[in-house]
Structure 1
Amino acid sequence: MKPLLIRAAVALGFIALYLWLAILGEGGFAAYFSSPARTGLAVVLIFMGVASAFVGGNISPGLREDRANRWVIPALMIVGLVGAYLPAWADQQGVWLLDGEAVRWLGVALLAAGGALRLWPVAVLGHRFSGLVAIQPGHQLVTTGLYSRIRHPSYLGLFISAFGWGLAFNTGVGVLLALLNIPPLVARMNSEERLLSSEFGAEYDAYRARTARLIPGVY
């Protein structure tokens, strides 16, 4: 039970910080929750935080880790925290606004879809899913389900969520900030694929040859 409580505390603490920054950017609670779409965004975000505590995963270096890739974690956290505040501030200030409530609700839907796609692989991999690039005890290559088409569904989910968050504030600023996730995510995928190729050899190379990183037929 203890690991679950720790995961729950960390997840909910991060969600609380994220929401607080967005509320601050919008000018306070009343301003933030004056929009039904932003209220829906908060509900989805809280649900995702609670769900993330139950799906598993860890931050163990396991049996072998690519420590040189650890810079990606603070990079994504910085982009995420700036992305929590700045789109809300731009929304409140009327900077580079898009097209109203339809865009906001599209963002909420994308956040929910991306969150589900982000958490599903964690639930599938369980203890083998680490916040670090590492080979875990009993590590096996999973090539079924969604993994039969794409190799990094969790990172695709993260990007879709970031994109949805930006759209939910109806500003192009949020879209640009979502794009800043791409360099660290690509570096993360490169590191993971090198490590998995060294661990599983020809099996992983054949798997990589028949699948897409993120989007079949595109990348």
Structure 2
Amino acid sequence: MFAALLWYLLAERALELVLAERNRRWAKLQGGRESGQWHYPIIIGMHALFYLSLAVEGKYLARGWNPLWPVWLALLVLAQALRAWAIASLGRFWNTRIVVVPGFRPVVRGPYRFIRHPNYLAVVIEIFAVSVLCGAYLTALVFSALNAVVLHIRIREEEQALAEVAGADLGALPRFVPARLRRFRS
């Protein structure tokens, strides 16, 4: 079961890279400008190392599935659904790279009505949930921390590119926690 899940996620990431490249070419034809190229190999490398670490820890430390596996599996499924919703909402504008097309306003439909970065939220949840689900606790901790650093850089670059090229003001939308939920925090 572990191997099937890992292969499924790897296939999904590969298909996303194909879609992203197709969307990047389309955006470039529309006059799109790419930003943050310097950190893209870091993101790809981190994700590749994440899956390698997940496979190694899952196989060789063989802790088995977490006793609360239904909870972690549900979170993983929710993360997958959120990612699919984000990709569908952005359409041709979705990408794994930062490519902003001048003259187009940022998308504010789908999950983007509530938060600025639903795809990144899905990645955060996925990295932690799939790791804990498979009993790869060290992978969960290490790659959640690395992902936080990478996302900090990535989001800053993406929002700067949107502001410069598209004149977007994203200040009103929260990054990860919908405004309706934020009021319940103390």
TM-score range, shorter chain: 0.7 to 0.9
1:60-79 deviations in Å (ceiling 9; x for gaps): 26221112332343333333
Q: How far, CA to CA, are the matches of 1:50 and 1:172 in structure 2?
A: 23
Q: 1:181 aligns with which of 147, 152, 156?
A: 147
Query: What's the offset of the Cα at 1:211?
Result: 1.0
Q: What is the identity, as a one-letter code, of the residue corresponding to 1:105?
A: P
Say which of 145, 150, 156 aligns to 2:115: 150
Q: Secondary structure at the match of 1:186?
A: helix
1:42 aligns with 2:12: no
**TM-score (norm: length of structure 2):** 0.74
| 1:17 alignment counterpart | none
Residues 1:212 and 2:174 are matched in the alignment: yes
- Runs of at least 5 residues in structure 1 that lack an aligned partner in the other structure: 1-32
Instruction: Decide whether the 8 Å contact of 1:118 with 1:153 is kept in 2.
Output: yes
Instruction: Name the CA distance, whole Å, in 2 between partners of 1:46 and 1:117.
Output: 17
Between stretches 68-77 and 117-126, larger displacement belongs to 68-77
Q: Which has the larger radius of gyration?
A: 1
C-alpha change, 1:116 and 1:134, in structure 2 (3 Å) is: same
TM-score norm. by structure 1 comes to 0.64
SS of corresponding position for 1:131 = coil
Does the 8 Å CA contact 2:86/2:119 hold for their aligned counterparts? yes
Which residue number corresponds to residue 132 of structure 1? 97
| Distance 1:73-1:185 versus aligned 2 partners, 3 A rule | same
Give 3-state SS (helix, strand or coil) of 1:210's partner. Answer: coil
Check 1:69–1:51 CA distance in 2 against 1; reply closer, same or farther (3 A cut). closer
Contact 1:64 1:136 in 2 (8 A): yes
Aligned pairs (5 A) from 1:1-219: 33=1, 38=2, 42=5, 46=8, 49=11, 53=15, 57-59=19-21, 60=24, 62=28, 63-66=32-35, 67-89=37-59, 91-92=61-62, 94=63, 100-102=66-68, 104-136=69-101, 139-179=104-144, 180-201=146-167, 204-205=168-169, 208-216=170-178, 217=182
2: CA distance, partners of 1:182 / 1:51: 19
The one-letter code sitting in structure 1 at the alignment partner of 2:131 is: G
Q: Unpaired runs of 5+ in structure 2?
A: none
Cα offset, 1:47, TM superposition? 7.9
Q: How far apart are 1:195 and its partner, in Å? A: 0.3
Q: 1:128, 1:139 within 8 Å by CA — same for their partners in 2?
A: no
Query: 1:120 and 1:177 mapped to 2: Cα distance?
Result: 27
Match of 1:7 in 2: none
Residue type at the aligned position of 2:97? L
Contact 1:72–1:185 (Cα < 8 Å) also in 2: no
Q: How many residues align?
A: 170
Name which structure has the greater RCO, CA cutoff 8 Å, separation 6+: 2
| Superimposed CA distance per residue, residues 100-156 of structure 1 (whole angstroms, 9 cap, x where no aligned partner) | 422x23222222111111221111111111221111477431123321221000010
Report sequence identity in percent: 22
Conserved? CA contact 1:106–1:167, under 8 Å: no
- Asked if the contact 1:118/1:154 (under 8 Å) is kept, the reply is yes
